[in-house]
A and B are shown apart, each in its own frame.
Chain A
């Protein structure tokens, strides 16, 4: 009894006071977002950062459906895209009709437009979860993507609609002509949106979204309509996707059919899965990794999408909880104070793993160069070495490295697995 009484009291105390430890990650995020432009201040750096912020908001919004609500959507780019298109038109009204609308408030309107569309589509698509919902989302996605070519007045046909963000009323002398100003605007909206989405997951309807995801029948017999719970998650997700769309419009000043299509819807699914659907930070990590691969890797290789695809397939196959899950499984060894015992096993398999990754990447790069480089261009440079991509020696070397690495990995993995089990074992067996 006394023990239960204590739990009760401490829980009540926890409910009344602010838990500062919980606020720490948010504080760190604020500091990090504030100083990032001083570290990556170049134009390219800021472009990547802006894109990251937008993708993070979009992926977090998407995870409200997939992770929190258990709804697999194949057409979520629609809400981001529509929010973005609406904002481009608003920016044009500001420029040509003198509409008074300061740019920092624009994402709110993008969000409301995304919400409006989510209300319309959600009213029928959230009736069922699972395959029915997924198929409707796919259908609606295709429908809106097709409309973007048909309804030229709103979507601008194939060339899209563009605008100028600097034409609005300047607040405090800021007219958003520089990338840095746009970055801070995006960062602010990122913080607001991420905090709002996190808090949403802690509200009654946010908790019931989880409940409906896990067991919709049980939730119905607790007084909640599964359909309405899903509908509300869907609307909230559409709202935040619209905010991401508005920031896209502000950042790139153009929206095209590409922002609505299936490829964009697919990549947000990929990002969320890559990061880990079961964690709030999952989509954030996924968006950061994806944007880095997209922007940085694409500078080095033309076949970056192939690597992305391989990474995705491997994540789904071997780490179904995503990159965040991969980090999270180290928490138990850490709690047991055995994280240190994993350093040597990791170091041992790092060599062959890297060898396999580089070896197989070289095979793909050499083959790609040999088949697709301009006629007569037979010299390629890989890892600082120039050679003839048509001669068999480099290819054979790469195959040999990859093969040897696989052999070494197979030899080393059992020992690694033992070390891993040992590190997760609470007992003191040594």
Chain B
């Protein structure tokens, strides 16, 4: 059997004397849609940042397709096929929508640090950027400055930037935070569409989205994973119900 897409083994992270992540072990198989849930301050974002190289674990290992990556920089991890979005919208506000997508494509299309190609004269690059714009339904907005888009459009654009490089592991940090019900529905459909055949890891507060989208759910409480199972089993898990006081999960039916 091939190695798991992401494998965490005994991962711990402390900031000073505060332990944020305590001995987390988790294996996410290829093609799985995995959601991480947990109350505020449980360490979900820290866990994200540990996997994507923004932080390095205090102890334990992070493996990507079997390769140990926990001491690598974010850009090195990205080059190994992992791409992420952020909790707070993180786009290039002063660039057009088209240019945002193009920036997401450059490395994967092997332009790297080239200063001998002109970006406007690369038909392949331009065509690919337009393809992605169509995937995220923003082809008509290609010339708009990203900073003036609506919030939901910016979130959609960020998903576009995140998938542009063709990474096979996509990690989304609260993709529907602050959205209306209809916007949420739209974004979830979009996520489902653009992450087909990819490994998806998503941190999300909206339980409707989580149970709708995920094949497997991990529940993080005070830096520890108390359950990691299918949606049905997680919902039935008494420890999870206790952590969530039952209420939220019942509302997700």
Contacts and interface: CB of A to CB of B under 8 A. Distances in A.
B198 interface: no
A380 B114 CA distance: 61
Contacts of B106: 204, 207-208, 222-224
Interface string A110-139: 000000000000000000000000000000
Given A3-B140, A222-B103, A8 B127 contact: yes
Contacts of A211: 92, 95, 103
B99 to A, nearest CB: 7
A7 B118 contact: no
Given A203-B114, A208-B106, A222-B165, A215 B75 contact: no
B84 interface: yes
Interface in B109-124: 111-123
Interface in B215-245: none
Contacts of A222: 75, 78, 83, 103-104, 106-107, 161, 165
A220 interface: yes
Nearest to B134: A4
A215 B154 CA distance: 15
A236 B115 contact: yes
A16 B75 CA distance: 31
Interface in B82-141: 83-84, 86, 90-95, 99, 102-104, 106-108, 111-123, 126-127, 130, 133-134, 139-140
B61 interface: no
A4 B123 contact: no
A302 interface: no
Nearest to B112: A204
Interface stretch (A71-79, A175-183, A225-233, A308-316): A225-233
Give the contact-size bracket for chain A.
Answer: 35 or more
Contacts of B126: 11-12, 14-15
B194 to A, nearest CB: 16
B57 interface: no
A206 interface: yes
Interface string A158-186: 00000000000000000000000000000
A214 B93 contact: yes
A338 to B, nearest CB: 22
B77 to A, nearest CB: 8
B142 interface: yes
B226 to A, nearest CB: 29
B192 interface: no
A252 interface: no
A236 B115 CA distance: 10
Contacts of B140: 3-4, 7
28 contacts: A7-B142, A8-B130, A11-B127, A15-B120, A15-B121, A15-B126, A16-B121, A199-B118, A202-B120, A203-B115, A203-B116, A203-B118, A204-B115, A206-B115, A207-B106, A208-B113, A211-B103, A218-B91, A218-B161, A219-B103, A220-B78, A221-B83, A222-B78, A222-B107, A223-B165, A224-B107, A225-B73, A229-B113
Interface of A: 3-4, 7-8, 11-12, 14-16, 199-200, 202-208, 210-211, 214-215, 217-225, 228-229, 232, 236
Closest 5 CB pairs of A and B: A223-B107, A4-B139, A204-B111, A220-B74, A223-B78
Interface of B: 52, 54, 73-75, 78-79, 83-84, 86, 90-95, 99, 102-104, 106-108, 111-123, 126-127, 130, 133-134, 139-140, 142, 161, 165
